[in-house]
A and B are shown apart, each in its own frame.
Chain A
């Protein structure tokens, strides 16, 4: 596997989109997760704007959630594109065929790509873990004073309801750490979808369209199933399973802070892993069945 990864790195390191997307991921992530909230936590110019920053960590659990949630968007838009363009560029330049002529078997080639996405997902997860840890350490000791402002703000607009949890305690450093596992599975799932669509359509622009198209198809399918009365299986559609690993939150939580955030659903994690295996298998079938052009 080390050889595969070395070869993949040699291939990709000169690629401009790889450099740009990776830099954006590495730089933007800490800015959004640590730098901006630390700047906003005491308000802007003394005007108590701390509750207006969307991803303000108010507990360890919310820190890990926000970190992984934001990272998952960046991974989806930046890292998945690296994979799509890396693979489709290989098809465009016919280096896939040359690799096989040079001595790779089809299985070797597939292993190199799967190895690459597992490595990227692991490295991204490690990076996100470090960012999350720094954020948790920082905000544990530098909590914004939110309680009074939040209540005042909520009263002002009359939107406080009894089921809303207003966070007043940061909690243990590793509360909600399971979101990191959720992030890893989710990012790996998106990457395997990226590999699948890239090998399926082989052209960069088409693969990007299909990558988004799958979510759109998943959405339509969810709607159709819902109308047909199959609500109970909607949650188990692939993209819904992946999304549920780091679920979207209601807008009100951006204002009041995340309280009792649902932790990672193990059933969901298992279903997602099953989909990952299925997508890899599907990629293998497609790659083996077709000629390498």
Chain B
């Protein structure tokens, strides 16, 4: 798998405020890579730097192994924040401008409009479009040059459930063609459904990165309980438990290594604690995300 993007110690400062702090990442070809983080975590700023609209304070990045972004620009299709077009122009004219800037064939306009389901509205002015249509038009614009990489900042933001589902299916169908897709989103469930890999940011810093599967599985959470006296105090000193919370009807423990249910039961049994409740707690990306950023 070839490397599409490498970010090395990228930082962006606005005066004394650090929006992105020493970020390093690698994204490989064919990955659907999610960038997660709460508001103000530096997701859009990071994408802005990678797309050449925000000047980095320090650090560097390389697309396709080249540090000269200008030569790679046309291999990348992007949506940053929200769809931006000339409101008084039709969808077709807007894409015509984008096609001329990208230097691609105008015949592609109808192809991409058909792909996003807007061909029959191509002569309507952009300002008559609904938000969902605007998002789809933005995706059409990003696809114009048939790019190797798509960078989508909040592609489902503000859409209704039907719109989200449509956009998700569209993105997954594009990903199925082998294109590399980088998505930032607040909708963690969407990222979990669409992405193969994820990077979690907080206050501009990278907290965690890896495949979704690895992020969800390298820690295990168990729901446990026992009638043993001083049970909670003992939880605090057990070395294989990294943290625990009292969830009223049970304790939720996090283990720092991959251990299974039997091993947990055995470890407690060895110290004379009989568990009357033991369940593997299924984590969603959202739970893991919240654990990481809190």
Which A residues are within 8 Å of any B CB, using their own CB?
3, 6-7, 10-11, 14-15, 93-95, 97-106, 108, 289-293
Contacts and interface: CB of A to CB of B under 8 A. Distances in A.
B186 interface: no
Contact of A98 (B85, B100, B145): B85
B84 A93 contact: yes
Contact of B86 (A3, A93, A100, A293): A93
Contact of A105 (B73, B78, B80, B98): B73
Contacts of B87: 93
Nearest to B99: A102
B53 A292 contact: yes
A7 B101 contact: yes
Contact of A94 (B54, B70, B84, B100): B84
A10 B96 contact: yes
Given A103-B145, A291-B53, A11 B86 contact: yes
28 contacts: A3-B100, A6-B100, A10-B97, A11-B86, A14-B86, A15-B88, A93-B84, A94-B84, A95-B86, A97-B80, A97-B84, A98-B80, A98-B85, A99-B101, A100-B52, A100-B53, A101-B52, A101-B53, A101-B80, A102-B102, A103-B102, A103-B145, A104-B101, A105-B73, A290-B55, A291-B54, A292-B54, A293-B53
B264 interface: no
B97 A11 contact: yes
Contacts of B219: none
Given A7-B97, A103-B102, A95 B85 contact: yes
A102 B86 contact: no
A227 B73 CA distance: 54
Contacts of B78: 101
Contacts of B85: 95, 98
Interface residues of B, number: 27
Nearest to B48: A291
B74 interface: yes
- Complex A-B, nearest 4 residue pairs according to Cβ-Cβ distance, in ascending order: A98-B84, A292-B53, A14-B88, A103-B102
A95 B89 CA distance: 13
Contacts of A93: 84, 86-87
A124 to B, nearest CB: 24
B51 interface: yes
Contacts of A94: 84
Contacts of A289: 55
B53 A95 contact: no
Contacts of A101: 51-53, 78, 80
A103 B84 contact: no
Interface in B67-112: 70, 73-74, 78, 80, 84-89, 93, 96-98, 100-103
A203 to B, nearest CB: 17
B105 to A, nearest CB: 14
A93 B82 CA distance: 11
A102 B93 contact: no
A98 B101 CA distance: 10
B98 A102 contact: yes
Nearest to A104: B101
Contact of B84 (A14, A95, A290): A95
